[in-house]
Structure 1
């Protein structure tokens, strides 16, 4: 049975209709010539290996049972000055149908138009609906999209008021359109949903793939949980897993449907991602160790000769003769560089000329660098950094470092290696 709605508001559904495809029972509402109902796309925690929430999505069919895109439904509603009304219809449907999922602890993600937050009638209807269904506001995540800059302060104020009532706030489609970091500080969401476009770029561009983990880490540093949406392929799923996203959403894990998620299927896929990530990490570490081995051996010999009193510009030649060795330099116990960089190849000096203002590093202080801290804290061995951007040439490099006792003082010998990733990321 399809339930009608009053033009003055949303009638609380009292009956269920069977879904002929799924066999499940769910609520539907009729609005003008459309029949509206809900489907739910599961949101999975990569750590918990299960669904932790569902995003409610509107589905509409015309009188001939042809699907009507939700954007067309809301677009027509806006033209008819019924946007908030249709938003309440969708809200009513989603809450009723979510209750039929018998979800005991999962969140319900509700998309809500920015203007609806300031609508007192809309707020009252939402709270009344939750009370009738015995759903706590803490189970509801309100998904907000970026709005015009001049309207954002008002949106942030309304979001703050709803959060004080117990609702969670998610910033949707971050990384698309007008979204920027200022929106994070203004809105202060609990969850940031990273737009699919960022994931798609990472899947096809090595530079974007390298940036994505740092982007997620930055959001974590800001105190936000990160959900990557639009995960459709295995490769995209591996990227989301590797960048330490908290939650994922997309066809690879589960399609929108009227019922609860297939937990066993999702757990199997996430477990497979974890195993693939473990194997890839181990292979990458083995390849990295193998690639570094000749540099480490030459660097160890240079450190031994330096400790025996030989000058820096004579002990580094075997290291610098290796194909991708860039430079050697020496730091004192405070991290200050003693003398200039030692460079072997003539073409290296020419390339560094583009960065002439930073070419002379004598007296520079590198105390902030991980290679300095590692050498000072564990002076008994050679340390190798993760790849990072060298200030000398704005190119990726790995730095070897080792603490060396020279007379009565402790110094840190450093050697840079150009580190362009190959096609496999090793």
Structure 2
């Protein structure tokens, strides 16, 4: 189920909402900023003008003081020096005159140094330049007269007349004119203050008007927009809650990748169907479907391509289920279920199973590659194989697991013994975990013989389990369990350490023989396992040339790209690498030529049949000749009769092992045999007891 896009998922609508809100907000900020700047510059201008007016009034008032000071100093200038108030009188008098002249020019024309601006008042200009005041002329004449008084080259009479004119001007007309000027400046200052008050009233009115306009045209739309957004948000939440609820319900009962019903949904449908058919005694069929070698698809093409394959298979299963009014579901990973809740006859069921297999095996195009995949099917029928939904699903899955164990690409009907077998496997898995910790395991050793001389060349370490209740268990039963559960890694590590420890003991006893140790591919897939094996050998003071590591052919070839570096490192460190069960896998001549291997071990099945089937004998001969041509050592497993030994001798096979020479025994029992270094081969056949070369 896919969620349909709503209006709030429209990116253009969301962008338009964002633009509208942003532009409105920026306009409001701009208006507020302009008003703030205008108010600031208006007040700043008026304040600066008031400051300038205050300075002008001060300077104008100072002119009165300077005129009085010049008049007083002028009177002293005509007295003898000893009667003058200060020896610096002449200098101070001239400074006062210059100061008055500078201030006068500043008042008339402005002065940057005194920070006095040029007056733009018409009345002030008239006071300075026009009658009846003409203050500019009065001050200029006053300064000129004062300079005459300071000129000592003039006659005493001239200087006396100048003093009289100064006193007359300072005490009457000039003082009155300066008072008029100061009063005019003060009046204009008061007018400026009055204008400032008017400006403040106007500014206050403008602020109220601006606030009203902002509230009407800016903040009101913003508030309305926010209100609409809130309403939209609530509607959005309501819609999303409904959609999320639907989606959660869908996810709870469907597989997110294939959108098929999941295990929970399937169980509910089976329960409903069981309740419906209990009254008419109909049959229900549950078919568990497990894809074969799906991990290889993931490992070789990647998980994305694996998902594509699962979706394609799901589509095919859904079509088959629809055709037969059934239900297809994905349980987990590469496992599916087809549930048929209509009455199905045996012949119809067989036809459906064949149709399923043909549908699944149809080629698929993945990453420009054509891929085919098989499936294992397990069938459980209601009510024969269970009356509960969980029971039917479990039994169908168990039958599917048996089909996988039997080689895959097949179907199996549920049998009660399958439950017993599954229960035993689970029991042994739990007990095997404890066996590793409780020292219930032991290594047995089977000698390898040079077929031309009977010389013992080495031994193979084989694991045995002394079960506390069941006695000695066959590796054929618990090794597959260890492989499936992942315990094979811990089990393999225990075998490796124990075998190397025993090799160290024998070497210290001067029993210098090779020891072959079975290594699981899962061990080699771990990082730096080669470093660990080398470190253990060095720690136990074992020459690596005496250690042979055996890997089964199938496991090696299936995982070769991932373990080749580890194998090369081990071979470079002196270990011999052997392919175990050779002939049962998919090795090619090219791979044998380039692989870092030293030994080929012919699988026991070929040796057993060689005396009875000429084709098997020819296969053994071909393996020996091919191995020798590639400079590989050849070992034959499972030799149980002298005829088999003679045949292998005729084929020039290098070494052999089997019950003809010795069954696997404990280290304590095989040590005396190893000390002899030789086995006298009897012409009598050994008992036909089959050993199992596992770890």
Which residue does 1:397 correspond to in 2? none
Q: Take 2:481 and 2:661, find their aligned partners in 1: how far apart are those partners?
A: 32
SS of alignment partner, residue 440 of structure 2: strand
1:104-183 correspondence to structure 2 within 5 Å: 104-120=511-527, 122-146=529-553, 147=555, 149-183=557-591
1:170-192 Cα shifts (integer Å, max 9, x gaps): 11111114344344224241111
Q: Take 2:484 and 2:604, find their aligned partners in 1: how far apart are those partners?
A: 28
Report the structure, 1 or 2, having the larger strand content. Answer: 1
Q: Take 1:180 and 1:230, find their aligned partners in 2: how far apart are those partners?
A: 24
The change in CA–CA distance for 1:208 and 1:85 in structure 2 (over 3 A counts) is closer
More off after superposition, 110-119 vs 141-150: 141-150
Which residue does 2:653 correspond to in 1? 245
1:201-280 correspondence to structure 2 within 5 Å: 201-258=609-666, 259-260=670-671, 262=673, 267-269=679-681
1:208-246 Cα shifts (integer Å, max 9, x gaps): 334533431221011111111110111111111111001
SS of alignment partner, residue 660 of structure 2: coil
1:30-81 Cα shifts (integer Å, max 9, x gaps): 5256601111110111234311111000111122261122244433334443
Tell me if structure 2 keeps the 8 A contact 1:169–1:190: yes
* Bigger-Rg structure (1/2): 2
Q: Take 1:266 and 1:73, find their aligned partners in 2: how far apart are those partners?
A: 33
Which residue does 1:63 correspond to in 2? 468
1:348-359 correspondence to structure 2 within 5 Å: none
Which residue does 2:328 correspond to in 1? none
Which ranges of structure 1 fall in alignment gaps of 5 or more residues?
1-28, 274-426
1:47 aligns with 2:459: no
Which ranges of structure 2 fall in alignment gaps of 5 or more residues?
1-433, 685-695
The change in CA–CA distance for 1:65 and 1:265 in structure 2 (over 3 A counts) is farther
Which residue does 1:95 correspond to in 2? 500
Tell me if structure 2 keeps the 8 A contact 1:45–1:248: yes
Higher relative contact order (CA 8 A, sep 6+): 1
1:262-292 Cα shifts (integer Å, max 9, x gaps): 366954218x79xxxxxxxxxxxxxxxxxxx
SS of alignment partner, residue 59 of structure 1: strand
SS of alignment partner, residue 500 of structure 2: helix
Tell me if structure 1 keeps the 8 A contact 2:530–2:570: no
Tell me if structure 2 keeps the 8 A contact 1:109–1:143: yes
The change in CA–CA distance for 1:238 and 1:32 in structure 2 (over 3 A counts) is same
Structure 1 position 108, deviation (Å): 0.8
Q: Take 1:62 and 1:170, find their aligned partners in 2: how far apart are those partners?
A: 30
Q: Take 2:558 and 2:501, find their aligned partners in 1: how far apart are those partners?
A: 35
SS of alignment partner, residue 449 of structure 2: strand
Tell me if structure 2 keeps the 8 A contact 1:44–1:52: yes
Structure 1 position 100, deviation (Å): 3.5
The change in CA–CA distance for 1:197 and 1:103 in structure 2 (over 3 A counts) is farther
Tell me if structure 1 keeps the 8 A contact 2:639–2:660: yes
Which residue does 1:195 correspond to in 2? 603
**TM norm structure 2:** 0.33
SS of alignment partner, residue 244 of structure 1: coil
The change in CA–CA distance for 1:106 and 1:211 in structure 2 (over 3 A counts) is same
Structure 1 position 150, deviation (Å): 4.9
Which residue does 2:88 correspond to in 1? none
Tell me if structure 2 keeps the 8 A contact 1:253–1:266: no
Q: Take 2:646 and 2:456, find their aligned partners in 1: how far apart are those partners?
A: 18
Q: Take 1:34 and 1:227, find their aligned partners in 2: how far apart are those partners?
A: 32
* Aligned residue-pair number: 244
Q: Take 1:261 and 1:221, find their aligned partners in 2: how far apart are those partners?
A: 36
Q: Take 1:59 and 1:92, find their aligned partners in 2: how far apart are those partners?
A: 15
Which residue does 2:491 correspond to in 1? 86
Q: Take 1:181 and 1:57, find their aligned partners in 2: how far apart are those partners?
A: 29
Tell me if structure 1 keeps the 8 A contact 2:529–2:566: no
Q: Take 2:585 and 2:557, find their aligned partners in 1: how far apart are those partners?
A: 12
Q: Take 1:88 and 1:121, find their aligned partners in 2: how far apart are those partners?
A: 13
1:36 aligns with 2:441: yes
Q: Take 1:220 and 1:72, find their aligned partners in 2: how far apart are those partners?
A: 35
Tell me if structure 2 keeps the 8 A contact 1:55–1:108: yes
SS of alignment partner, residue 217 of structure 1: helix
Tell me if structure 1 keeps the 8 A contact 2:451–2:645: no
The change in CA–CA distance for 1:80 and 1:33 in structure 2 (over 3 A counts) is farther
SS of alignment partner, residue 665 of structure 2: coil
Tell me if structure 2 keeps the 8 A contact 1:175–1:194: yes
Report the structure, 1 or 2, having the larger helix content. Answer: 2
Which residue does 1:317 correspond to in 2? none
Tell me if structure 2 keeps the 8 A contact 1:33–1:63: no
Q: Take 1:148 and 1:137, find their aligned partners in 2: how far apart are those partners?
A: 21
Structure 1 position 202, deviation (Å): 1.6
Tell me if structure 2 keeps the 8 A contact 1:254–1:261: no
Q: Take 2:599 and 2:618, find their aligned partners in 1: how far apart are those partners?
A: 22
RMSD of aligned alpha carbons: 2.8
SS of alignment partner, residue 661 of structure 2: coil
Q: Take 2:654 and 2:498, find their aligned partners in 1: how far apart are those partners?
A: 28
